[in-house]
């Protein structure tokens, strides 16, 4: 019998990775079907049916973000808004921590959209994306990942200078390392992923891309990896001005 993609329990079903609800159906997209050949992995009950609310949370969190492609926006104003209305806005408010601010933005002549600005529930997002990365790893390599995953949400804005520099640095490094590499996924307007080569410490990264503009980076640290402390990052953590170079780009910290 198959084992679960996340643990050593026996699999009882198959789980979609990423969740199926992120992929619009033809009936909601004027006949465009984005649910063909979705990735599935074997799952136990704990890691599939028990997290259905997290799947819906992730759908609401991602579909309406400014910068998405037209598929994301159409999904937001179709199925996602229906789900939000059914929950009396509870689904939408659950995506944020603390207070939110509401704006009306003009996107064209006499065309306006409502925009909500707030702090996302990053801990819950972390759980959602960890499940996705574990699933993709199982699908791609054929075995469960054992180790730590460090996530970076490249699409989130921060007013911290170091956080912004780190976001831009990681993006620049991945742009170089993944240039010309395969993009995996049958419905790439909704989702695709890429994987870097392993470095000398057996570390590697996944880049996940949703709706053409939402990037999530996952650093894979296998349990057997002997990770050395990097002097440059020790300087950054110590508050010392440090500059990293990627090609002709410079990224300053502190």
**Residue-wise DSSP of 161-230:** HHHHHHHHHHHHHHHHHTTT---B-S-TTTEEEEEPPP-TTS-EEEEEEETTTEEEEEEEEETT--PPPP
- Find how far residue 221's CA is from the centre of its chain: 18
Which of 32, 37, 71, 70 shows the shortest CA–CA distance to 186? 37
Q: Nearest Cα to 191, choosing from 132, 112, 141, 231?
A: 132
Longest dimension (CA), the chain: 59
Residue 122: CB partners within 8 Å, gap ≥ 6? Answer: 97, 153, 156
The whole-angstrom separation of Cα 151 and Cα 103 is 29
Q: What's the pLDDT band for 162 if we cut at 50, 70, 90?
A: confident
**pLDDT band per the 50, 70, 90 thresholds, residue 137:** very high
Note the pLDDT of residue 100.
Answer: 64
Q: What is the mean pLDDT of residues 67-89?
A: 87
User: pTM of the predicted model, to two decimals?
Assistant: 0.89
pLDDT score at 145:
95
Q: For position 205, what pLDDT does the model report?
A: 95
Which range (67-71, 113-117, 148-152, 189-193) has the least confidence?
A: 113-117
Name the residue with tokens 């390392």. 177
Residue 116 has pLDDT above 90, yes or no: no
- Confidence band for 113, pLDDT divided at 50, 70 and 90: low
Task: Record the tokens describing residue 14, joined without a space.
Answer: 């198959």
Provide the mean pLDDT of the chain: 86
> Which residue is it, tokens 């984005």?
34
Q: How many CB atoms lie within 10 A of CB 5?
A: 26
Q: For residue 27, give every residue at least 6 positions away whose Cβ sits within 8 Å of its Cβ, in sequence order, or none.
A: none
- What confidence tens digit (pLDDT) does each residue in 29-62 have? 787 889 999 999 999 988 877 677 889 999 999 9
Query: What is residue 133's predicted lDDT score, i.e. its pLDDT?
Result: 97
C-alpha–C-alpha distance, residues 191 and 187, integer Å: 6
Name which residue leads in pLDDT, 210 or 225: 210
CA angle, residues 21, 23, 27, in degrees to nearest 5: 95
């Amino acid at each position: 019998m198959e084992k679960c993609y996340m643990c050593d329990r026996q699999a009882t079903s198959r789980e979609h990775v990423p969740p199926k609800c992120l992929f619009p159906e033809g009936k909601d997209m004027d006949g465009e079907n984005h649910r063909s050949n979705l990735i599935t992995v074997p799952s136990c009950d704990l890691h599939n049916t028990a997290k259905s609310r997290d799947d819906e949370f992730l759908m609401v969190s991602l579909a309406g973000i400014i910068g998405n492609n037209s598929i994301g926006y159409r999904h937001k104003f179709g199925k996602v808004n229906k789900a939000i209305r059914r929950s009396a806005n509870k689904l939408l408010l659950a995506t944020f921590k603390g207070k939110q601010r509401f704006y009306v933005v003009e996107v064209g002549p006499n065309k306006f959209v409502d925009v909500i600005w707030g702090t996302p529930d990053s801990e819950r997002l972390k759980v959602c994306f960890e499940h996705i990365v574990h699933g993709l790893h199982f699908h791609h390599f054929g075995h469960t990942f054992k180790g730590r995953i460090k996530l970076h949400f490249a699409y989130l804005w921060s007013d911290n200078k170091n956080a912004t520099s780190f976001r831009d640095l990681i993006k620049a490094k991945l742009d170089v390392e993944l240039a010309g590499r395969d993009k995996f996924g049958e419905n790439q307007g909704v989702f695709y992923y890429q994987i870097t080569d392993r470095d000398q410490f057996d570390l590697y990264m996944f880049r996940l891309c949703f709706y053409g503009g939402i990037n999530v980076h996952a650093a894979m640290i296998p349990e057997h990896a002997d990770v050395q402390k990097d002097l440059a990052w020790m300087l950054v953590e110590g508050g010392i001005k440090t500059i990293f170079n990627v090609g002709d780009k410079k990224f300053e910290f502190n």
